[in-house]
Amino acid sequence: MRQSLLFTKTRREAPKDEVAKNAQLLIRGGYIHKEMAGAYNYLPLGLRVFKKIEQIIREEMNAIGGQEITLTALQDPAVWKATGRWDSATVDVWFKTQLASGTEVGLGWTHEEPLTALMREHISSYKDLPRWVYQFQTKFRNEARAKSGLLRTREFVMKDMYSFARTTEEHDTLYEKAKQAYFNVYKRVGIGEKTYITFASGGAFSKYSHEFQTECEAGEDISYISDGKRLAVNKEVYTDEVLQDLGLEKGDMREAKTIEVGNIFSLGTRFSDALGLNYRAEDGSEKSVIMGCYGIGPGRLMGTIVEVLSDDKGIVWPESIAPFRVHLVELGNGNEDVGKEAAELYRELTGAGVEVLWDDRDARAGEKFADSDLLGLPLRVVVSEKTLAAGSFECVHRAGGKTEHLSASELINRLTPHV
């Protein structure tokens, strides 16, 4: 992609009403555009990052047997009334509207009810279980106060997965697989070392639920972390009794601000009982399906990565989710030889399968370098009169700032996998 043709524009200043670092940097870098409070558009650079995060999540869900579907955003009140969650006095985040006929509908904020109802047509026997299904779907939540950029929005995509099992033991096996899959996601997107499995309130169906909390000063949550055991406890359940139950010592725990980047819940039979999702066991008896749910928001994860990994110059993308792997910065000042060399390197790199953003704009070197730091691509490769004379390219790693001087063949060899 030539940067002169890219549908984006960097900005020196973020909107005055944005105080979250992730929103400021992503807007300044031209990754997202604020439509209104709690609603953001993803521009080409931002969408590339978002889709790479989504694909990592998809791969990990598929690896444990998940099957992808898409459910409707429009919600029939009937299934929600069956569980008592249609009443806005019970659930205060509904967006509701009316069809032209006057029929009331809602915009989905989660999907336990409609999926459970759907599964009545697909699960009738023990032979139909277990099942995992998941989706990437736009949710709508009427948050009283949308804030913190991508960390708390009113419209957002969520990957929500639901498991359906015959027994508690079977459910527990699925649950543990999901837990590990989530850790794999966080490791692959670059925040695995700062993310902890965190014990939180389990509600009516299990002693604990589990959150995945990433340590960050921008976090809205307070967690108590055991570095030795790589576990944390949410402040809401941080008591001596809970610590004893989990085998944790208060003296080993430290307090930290954290961002919740995922959660998983055991649902028991609450929804299957309410909506009549049963199966016929081997002995012929009718039993309720045992359910679990597993949520993670790609956009919220994207914002968290920016909060955690950025520096005072701008964004620092991990290679796995960067919109482009290389930022090819041409500093020609009208020199045709520099332009030809940049074009040839661009051709060689893209031909080798390397994603390249080529800054071919007519702009000053200082402006190009500032934009490069702001955009945060993993490797900046400079082509200039100086590099032509040296016979090698200046290659600067965005994370850490390490500089190397490599020939075209050395650079391509470094960037492409070897069989």
- State how far the Cα of 417 lies from the Cα of 65, in Å rounded to an integer: 28
Q: Which of 367, 378, 364, 366 is nearest to 328 (CA)?
A: 378
* pLDDT tens-digit series, residues 122-180: 999 999 999 999 999 999 999 988 889 999 999 999 999 999 999 999 999 999 999 99
- Helices vs. strands in the chain: H and E counts, helices first: 12, 21
Q: Which residues pair with 40 in a beta bridge?
A: 34
- State how far the Cα of 347 lies from the Cα of 341, in Å rounded to an integer: 10
CATH number at 326-415? 3.40.50.800
State whether the Cα torsion 34-38-44-45 is positive or negative. positive
The answer to whether residues 71 and 135 touch, using CB atoms and an 8 Å cutoff, is: yes
- Residue 101 confidence (pLDDT): 96
The answer to whether residues 338 and 383 touch, using CB atoms and an 8 Å cutoff, is: yes
CATH architecture observed for domain 21-309: 2-Layer Sandwich (3.30)
- State how far the Cα of 81 lies from the Cα of 320, in Å rounded to an integer: 43
Q: What is the DSSP letter of 314?
A: B
- State how far the Cα of 316 lies from the Cα of 311, in Å rounded to an integer: 7
The answer to whether residues 224 and 233 touch, using CB atoms and an 8 Å cutoff, is: yes
Query: What does each of the 419 residues of the chain score in pLDDT, given as a tens digit?
Result: 999 999 989 999 888 889 999 999 999 999 999 999 999 999 999 999 999 999 999 999 999 999 999 999 999 999 999 999 999 999 999 999 999 999 999 999 999 999 999 999 999 999 999 999 999 999 999 998 888 999 999 999 999 999 999 999 999 999 999 999 999 999 999 999 999 999 999 866 678 999 999 999 999 999 999 999 999 999 999 999 999 999 999 999 999 999 999 999 999 999 999 999 999 999 999 999 999 999 999 999 999 999 999 999 999 999 999 999 999 999 988 899 999 999 999 999 999 999 999 999 999 999 999 999 999 999 999 999 999 999 999 999 999 999 999 999 999 999 997 64
Q: Where do the CATH 3.40.50.800 domains begin and end in the chain? A: 326-415
Assigned token pair, 78: 């009937």
Give SS3 for 171.
helix
- State how far the Cα of 236 lies from the Cα of 238, in Å rounded to an integer: 6
- Residue 97 confidence (pLDDT): 96
**Strand pairing of 74-75 and 95-98?**
unpaired
Q: What is the DSSP letter of 2?
A: B
**pTM as predicted:** 0.96
Cβ-proximal residues to 303 (8 Å cutoff; 6+ apart), any chain: 20, 22, 23, 26, 148, 149, 150, 151
The answer to whether residues 340 and 289 touch, using CB atoms and an 8 Å cutoff, is: no
Cis bond leading into 15, ω under 30°?
no
Assigned token pair, 183: 């850790």
Three-class SS of 251-304: HHEEEEEEEEEEEEEEEECHHHHHHCCEEECCCCCEEECEEEEEEECHHHHHHH
**Strand pairing of 379-384 and 290-296?**
unpaired
- State how far the Cα of 305 lies from the Cα of 29, in Å rounded to an integer: 15
The answer to whether residues 300 and 139 touch, using CB atoms and an 8 Å cutoff, is: no
Three-class SS of 105-147: EEECCCCHHHHHHHHCCCCCEHHHCCEEEEEEEEEECCCCCCE
Q: Where do the CATH 3.30.930.10 domains begin and end in the chain? A: 21-309
- The Cα-based distances of 58 to 44, 124, 172, 216, 403 in angstroms read 21, 28, 21, 25, 35
- State how far the Cα of 263 lies from the Cα of 217, in Å rounded to an integer: 20
